[in-house]
């Protein structure tokens, strides 16, 4: 059994959003087109409280892009994004949510960030996605969404660690490229971890 995992297809990661991924909205029609190919479809949703520690605005004199120590780990500071119940946290308009069976929210804990759709960055708390996939009998994952070099990458790396056969749908993902080359670096890291790259055209053929 396979599943499509759609990572953080939310307004704040689309052009005009507070943490805009270039071309982020372009993946929506690609995703809509391929949905019929999968046994199951799940979404993840970045869902932060207003006082989340990953927001630069919640630290005096800090700017987005700066790195701080948080619970003994490096934490990049981001613009305020995907605040619970805000417009920026909503799914990008036009995304077909009808075939989505379940949504998994992450990043709710004030002092811990959560890039992967499976676990928070401390690998302490599960989102429930793995448990749900196990109950559903899913062994193969197709992963797509935003941002390729952040949440898509960490989701796919965890998927491999958990033993899933894992594909990255390249043209249904976009990188934020905070540093130039981050997107390409993410793809080679994923390949090294055993993630296979595939295009939407290959999936449809």
Q: Tell me which residues are annotated as active site.
A: 8, 106, 151
Kindly identify the residues of this chain, within the stretch 28-67, that bind Zn ion according to CB under 5 A.
Answer: 46
- Cα separation, 194 vs 159, in Å, equals 10
Beta carbon nearer to ligand VGL, 64 or 128: 64
Spatial neighbors of 23 by CB under 8 A, at least 6 apart, are 15, 174
CA–CA separation, 10 and 45 (whole Å): 7
Pick the closer one to ligand VGL by CB: 13 or 142: 13
- The reply on whether position 143 binds ligand VGL by CB under 6 A is no
- Per partner kind, with CB cut-offs from 5 to 8 A, the member of ligand VGL, Zn ion, none near residue 171 is none
Give the DSSP letter of residue 14.
S
Using CB under 6 A, pick the residue from 55, 78, 104, 167 that binds ligand VGL: 78
Cis peptide before 147 (omega within 30 of 0): yes
Q: Considering the complex, state which of residue 20 and residue 151 has its C-beta at the smaller distance from ligand VGL.
A: 151
Q: Tell me the C-alpha distance between 14 and 23, whole Å.
A: 7
Binding site residues, ligand VGL, CB under 6 A = 8, 13, 19, 46, 78, 146-147, 150-151
């Amino acid at each position: 059994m396979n599943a499509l995992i759609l990572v953080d297809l939310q307004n704040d990661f689309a052009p005009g959003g507070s943490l805009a991924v270039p071309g982020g909205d372009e993946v929506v029609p690609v995703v809509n087109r391929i949905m019929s190919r999968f046994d199951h479809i799940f979404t993840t949703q970045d869902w932060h409280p207003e006082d989340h520690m990953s927001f630069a605005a919640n630290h005096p004199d800090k700017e987005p892009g700066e790195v701080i120590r948080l619970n003994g780990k490096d934490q990049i500071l981001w613009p305020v994004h995907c605040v619970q119940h805000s417009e920026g946290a909503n799914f990008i308009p036009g995304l077909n949510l009808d075939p989505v069976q379940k949504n998994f929210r992450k990043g709710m804990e004030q002092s811990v960030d959560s890039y992967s759709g499976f676990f928070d960055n401390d690998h302490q708390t599960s989102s429930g996605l793995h448990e749900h996939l196990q109950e559903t009998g899913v062994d193969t994952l197709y992963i797509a969404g935003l941002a390729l070099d952040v949440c898509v990458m960490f989701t796919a790396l965890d998927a491999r660690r958990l033993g899933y056969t894992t594909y990255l749908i390249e043209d249904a993902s976009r990188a934020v490229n905070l540093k130039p080359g981050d997107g390409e670096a993410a793809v080679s890291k994923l390949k090294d971890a055993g993630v296979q790259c595939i295009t939407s055209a290959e999936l449809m053929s």
